[in-house]
Chain A
């Protein structure tokens, strides 16, 4: 099945793609077919900057378990650091 569903959020930060570092403006998260990972469906995350064109994209395709572990790791890392250390208002 194709879900077609996409969660799109605004983000701030940078990502490194084939052409080097670029500022990212959005992330897309969707559970749908994988392009490369050898699973029929994966949790796909795109870090993108549409103002720099379609190639300004860093993509990952993760299993559901890996995606949940990543989400937990992000929460854990943030909890272990002083509050606000990585905030946009640091």
Chain B
């Protein structure tokens, strides 16, 4: 496998037929290959997320991250866009699902696509990953420390962040969950509740909680970075996608 990739900004069709900016990276070899939709975190469609998109391409996947804030903040810097969307209460779940569906369709139409699509997200993107995997037919999903799947949010949280645990019976694919044992949103008790609900629904899942790690332990440019957990987490992600998105 060559490690040569092509990465670029593209326009895809998202929820409601809207044109949505998205970041695409794909290997230059011919395929066939699986695809990954990367859902960005609440701080936005930022450099760290785009780096993850390129990382999937280097590992042989076509990957696409839709800019969930395209509509409210076209052309804005990621932090300004995130603040703008935050001020307006976040993005509705229904729209996120539509944008992920559009991204999956875009990837499946690419030359060399094998028709299998995984979804991954961190932080709010982890919650959105679970939401998408319970709302759409996909082949694998990775929830990295997604909060407010299980728990009722405290006052002051945007109305878009309601619990979605009741969707567990609709989960369409195996779920890998990667969590920090020191995290509070989601805390270990919420992770355990999610696992129990998936067990009850007979849904395949693999959860790993890392001691000494909290929220955002994958974030290499932040103090929350925990190299041991992140390195092991990436290995688990590629093993998981390798098993579920291969030809």
Contact = CB atoms under 8 A, between A and B. Distances in A.
A26 B88 CA distance: 12
Given A3-B185, A40-B223, A59-B79, A50 B42 contact: no
Chain B contact-residue range equals 35 or more
A38 B223 CA distance: 6
Nearest to B148: A4
Residue from B77, B80, B224 with most neighbouring chain A CB atoms (10 Å): B80
Q: By DSSP majority rule, is chain A's interface helix, strand, loop, or mixed? A: loop
Contact of B42 (A4, A26, A40, A57): A4
Contacts, number: 80
Interface residues of A, number: 25
B109 interface: no
Residue from A1, A30, A59 with most neighbouring chain B CB atoms (10 Å): A1
A40 to B, nearest CB: 5
Given A35-B79, A48-B87, 17 more contacts: A4-B147, A4-B156, A6-B87, A6-B156, A6-B158, A28-B83, A30-B86, A38-B223, A40-B216, A40-B223, A46-B87, A54-B77, A54-B83, A57-B83, A57-B84, A59-B79, A59-B83
Interface of A: 1-8, 26, 28, 30, 33-35, 38-40, 46, 48, 50, 53-55, 57, 59
